[in-house]
Amino acid sequence: MESAGTGDVVVAGAHRITGEQFLRRTSAVSRALADHGLGPRDTVAYLHGNSAEAVIVRLAAQALGACYVGLRPFFSTGEKLKFLLEGRPALFVFDPDQRDEAESLCARAGISRALSVGASEFGENVLDLADGKPDAPLECSQPDDGLSMVTFSSGSTGEPKGIAHTFASASGFLDNALHMYGPGPWRFLVAIPLSDLGGEIVQWTLAAGGTAVLMDDFRADEVAEVLRREHITHFFGSPSMVHALVHAPGLGDADLPDLRLVVYGGAPSSPSRIADAVARLGPVLMHNYGMQEAGFISCLDPSDHVRAGRYLLNSVGRPLPDVEIAIRDAEGRALPTGSIGEVCLRSPTIMAGYWQRPDLTSQVLRAGWFHTGDLGRTDDEGYLYLVDRVKDIIIVDAYNVYPQQVEQVLTAHPAVAQAVVVGLSDPDTGESVYAAVVPSTTVPPERTAALTVELATAVRETLGSVHAPTRVDLLSDLPLTPRGKPDRAAIREQATGALRS
């Protein structure tokens, strides 16, 4: 935030905080944290939900030059304990509604200094401590090469990893956000965890002189109402969230003249569903491709979404101005335009490394390039098209099958809400294609067999016989990673077990 004012800057339900109140509270909390020994290059682990106080504490710690480590509520206690034991934070902070787990974690990790953000029977209340402190703004001490934050991967390709960013790379995130999302002020609805990208979106919104409107969780009908009531200009969600939003009953009655951008990312999208969203919402859709290790990589802007034809909706857009992309083969050689290879990049927003894991860092940061693990290609206009993850390729009789392509065909079927495709061991072809599908509506038992045949046939006719699933299972829901992404390993294990039984 560049200035304070009487307008709201953070809204959480009925709780509204003006710019002046926010600056005063953040300054006072910074002083309380400093009195507990927190300073530059220290780390503070914080277990919290989506609240105004969570925003204040995070910024108060970073104003001191400390590194914020957000412990996600939906990670298992064992995973949180592992991070605490490895990172040894200088201070542990928690929300009162997380008190029982916080007390257990502190005992098991040997943490003696814990602060509660509100009244609690365990730990001192940092808000009470801040009440007696001066609320004049502190002079910030943020070394560019010091760590600003540690976020965590989803664990979809293994155990979650801590991803460390410096204050310099975090500043680059803001530059990219301003480039993509336009000049402020924004009124940004944040319905994703503040311990993840949501917290960064709030910071960018405040820096742009705007207002962050917080929700505990995404609920499509409620989001539709909040968009109207709070005059929201910007919203970010996964493709499935956008799909649910445009089909929410309340959206049809909502008048949304202020809505400028609906940004989606974080998971593969279905071009047919995105086209449907454009038809319903107008030219406000934007696709961000990025990852926690590298920040934003490319952007498919609203004008790309409404160009003649839908082919561009298969793309994740063109690289941002400060991002250099190369498509490389398995030996690291650059490939020509149109060839499929691993997406590698250089940019100012690449992570400092995996937290406490130099062995893993050296696997992806090589000779100044970050190796994303994503397979893709570029076209003559510079648009990037993702094909799949390197580790997710299915090899059927020596032919490469890219699960994401098969999933796009499946989710284009009106009876399919979600689809995940994995490879299963096959004695004849090496691997076979398996599809786990969540129907969009209840499928009568007598219709099940015919639907699975329809889906396999659609893939065969669109992509060829080698891509067709040899088995399609209809599931009520998909197993998810702690971050809410489909757990491919669990899906593969379930399918393998079902075949053996």
Q: Structure tokens of 124?
A: 């001192």
pLDDT confidence band for 50 (50 / 70 / 90) = very high
Better-predicted residue by pLDDT, 482 or 385: 385
Interval 84-107 mean pLDDT: 92
What are φ and ψ of residue 167, in 5° steps?
-65, -30
Interval 384-395 mean pLDDT: 86
Domain regions of the chain by residue span: 8-142, 181-389, 393-500
Interval 169-189 mean pLDDT: 95
Burial class (CB in 10 A: 0-12, 13-18, 19+), 501: exposed
Interval 133-157 mean pLDDT: 77
Judge if the upstream peptide bond of residue 185 is cis by omega within 30 degrees of 0: yes
| Pairwise CA distance, residues 365 & 383, whole Å | 24
Instruction: Residue 281: name the closest of 304, 315, 306 by CA.
Output: 306
**pLDDT above 90 coverage of the chain, percent:** 67
Q: What is the mean pLDDT of the chain?
A: 90
Which parts of 416-458 are beta strand (E)? Answer: 416-426, 430-439
The tally of CA atoms less than 13 A away on the side-chain side of residue 136 is 2
Model pLDDT, residue 145: 87
**pLDDT at 3 exceeding the cut of 60:** no
Give the other-Cβ count within 10 Å of 277's Cβ. Answer: 22
Model pLDDT, residue 155: 53
Phi-psi domain of 118 (left: phi exceeds 0; alpha: psi -120 through 50; beta: other): left
**pLDDT at 486 exceeding the cut of 80:** yes
Q: Is-same-fold flag (8-142; 181-389)?
A: yes
Q: What is the pLDDT of residues 203-253, one digit of tens each?
A: 999 999 999 999 998 999 999 999 999 999 999 998 888 988 998 887 876
Q: What is the pLDDT of residues 407-451, one digit of tens each?
A: 999 999 999 999 999 999 887 788 899 999 999 989 999 999 999
pLDDT confidence band for 483 (50 / 70 / 90) = low
Model pLDDT, residue 391: 82
Model pLDDT, residue 372: 94
Max CA separation in the chain (angstroms): 73
**pLDDT at 6 exceeding the cut of 80:** no
Q: Structure tokens of 302?
A: 């609203």
Model pLDDT, residue 78: 83
**pLDDT at 138 exceeding the cut of 90:** no
The topology under which CATH files domain 393-500 is GMP Synthetase; Chain A, domain 3 (3.30.300)
Better-predicted residue by pLDDT, 72 or 331: 331
Reported residue count of the chain is 501
Q: What is the DSSP code string of 144-189?
A: TTSEEEEEE---TTSS--EEEEEHHHHHHHHHHHHHHH-SS--EEE
Interval 362-378 mean pLDDT: 93
Looking at 3.40.1360.10, 3.40.50.12780, 3.30.420.40, 3.30.43.10, the CATH number of the domain 181-389 comes to: 3.40.50.12780
Looking at 1.10.287.90, 3.40.228.10, 3.90.380.10, 3.40.50.980, the CATH number of the domain 8-142 comes to: 3.40.50.980
pTM of the predicted structure, to 2 decimals: 0.84
